[in-house]
Amino acid sequence: MNLTELNRIAAAMVVPGKGILAADESSGTIKKRFDAIGVESTETNRRDYREMLFRSKEAMSQYISGVILYDETIWQNVADGTPLVKLIEQSGAIPGIKVDEGTQALPMCPGELVTVGLDKLAERLKKYYERGARFAKWRAVIDIGSGIPSMTAISVNAHALARYAALCQAAQIVPIVEPEVLMDGDHDIDRCYEVTQRVLSKTFQELRVQRVALEGMVLKPNMAISGKKCARQASVEEVAEKTVRLLKTCVPAAVPGIAFLSGGQSDEEATAHLNAMHKLGPLPWGLTFSYGRALQAAPQKAWSGKAENVAAGQTAFSHRARMNGLASKGEWQSSLEKKAA
Ligand SMILES: O=P(O)(O)OC[C@H]1O[C@](O)(COP(=O)(O)O)[C@@H](O)[C@@H]1O
């Protein structure tokens, strides 16, 4: 393992002004997104949509540091035969790959999930590296509800995250470690804080036990935020203040960067929260975005599956990427959204 090189890539993924495009929706998730805009989820439509994003010159060259791909996408070529992964490289962004294989019910723990995909991962990583992937992603899902999460669910998911991360580093690939505490439910921000603290603490304990080099990884956490159905929605300032406090207690400064998931926040909320956190600096790690929905909802709507809307989709994507790029430096203002509208 060349740790200097892993560290260099991890730092490039979270460089101020840029963040990660999570375009790794699994087949089920992309179908849901396409259903919402009335587009059939065929292999060609998925390819055309992602080609539109990766050819968005302004977004990709100025505000996107890396792109997380799904297995299907990393092997796809565009109509002229160019691999999609090459479009990403040509823009200056780093290609990455989602390597988990989704979740399964966790035995003995009703309502809880464990992420799977460790079998044969070492061999898969080798092939992904040859194809150009320089980082990977694995997502654990932790739900908050009555009596959950259990310590069992937290432990097994943290163990799998660390197993995955160690295998990635051995294959010279930077692991994005993503333990997501879901926003679903009526819990308040303090319950989210407390659960996320347990999850992150256990995750870092496992990473240490399994000898993962913290300098060669990126953390992708949720923010400390109110459940979607909570009657009291915390303000932008409260989310920022509690998230930064939480991360400072759990994430060692040796970690080069933290890139948030958006988790169902609205586009503008996700941007405002990241921006507000940068007002609380200096921070010990790079802090940026790794958004799926909060970067793609607008371009998906503008595109709506029509070739004549490609330019409109790219404009919408570039706008969101620029807004989040500014937020990653604490330079975003809500007036910039209105101007673009
Ligand atoms: O359930 P799936 O298909 O694996 O996708 C989950 C999505 O969650 C993410 O981890 C974060 O996405 P969001 O920003 O939309 O929450 C993406 O990288 C990924 O596409």
Average pLDDT, the chain: 98
Ligand 1 contacts (CB < 6 A) are: 22, 24-26, 29, 68, 139, 178, 261-263, 291-294
Atom 19 of ligand 1, residue of closest alpha carbon: 25
Its pTM stands at: 0.98
- Angle formed at CA 210 by CA 254 and CA 109, multiple of 5 degrees: 110
Q: Is the pLDDT of residue 340 over 80?
A: no
What type of residue is 229? K
Query: Domain residues for 273?
Result: 3-340
What type of residue is 251? V
Residue 89 designated active-site: no
Task: Output the pLDDT for position 339.
Answer: 63
How far is the centre of ligand 1, averaged over its atoms, from the C-alpha of 2 (Å)? 29
**Pocket residue to mutate for ligand 1, from 41, 53, 97, 98, most atoms within 8 A of Cβ:** 98
Task: Output the pLDDT for position 341.
Answer: 60
- Nearest CA to 14 among 339, 313, 251, 297? 251
Residue 25 designated active-site: no
Catalytic residue, chosen from 18, 137, 202, 220, is 220
Whether the bond into 149 is cis, omega within 30 of 0: yes
Contacts of 317 (CB under 8 A, 6+ apart): 52, 53, 56, 59, 295, 296, 298, 299
Q: Is the pLDDT of residue 83 over 70?
A: yes
Q: Is the pLDDT of residue 292 over 80?
A: yes
- Angle formed at CA 177 by CA 98 and CA 210, multiple of 5 degrees: 115
Tell me what the mean pLDDT of segment 294-301 comes to: 98
- Which ligand 1 atom is nearest residue 68's CA? 18
DSSP string, 215-232: GG-EE-PPPS---TT-SS
Look up the CATH number of the domain holding residue 287: 3.20.20.70
Tell me what the mean pLDDT of segment 165-169 comes to: 99
Atom 16 of ligand 1, residue of closest alpha carbon: 263
- Which ligand 1 atom is nearest residue 291's CA? 14
pLDDT band at residue 338, thresholds of 50, 70 and 90? confident
- Which ligand 1 atom is nearest residue 139's CA? 10
- Nearest CA to 18 among 295, 337, 321, 336? 321
CA 74 – CA 83 distance, rounded (Å): 8
Question: Is 88 strand, coil or helix?
Answer: helix
Tell me what the mean pLDDT of segment 35-50 comes to: 98
Task: Output the pLDDT for position 314.
Answer: 98
Contacts of 196 (CB under 8 A, 6+ apart): 181, 221, 222, 224, 246
> What DSSP designation does 214 have?
G
Question: Is 290 strand, coil or helix?
Answer: strand
Q: How many domains does the chain fold into?
A: 1
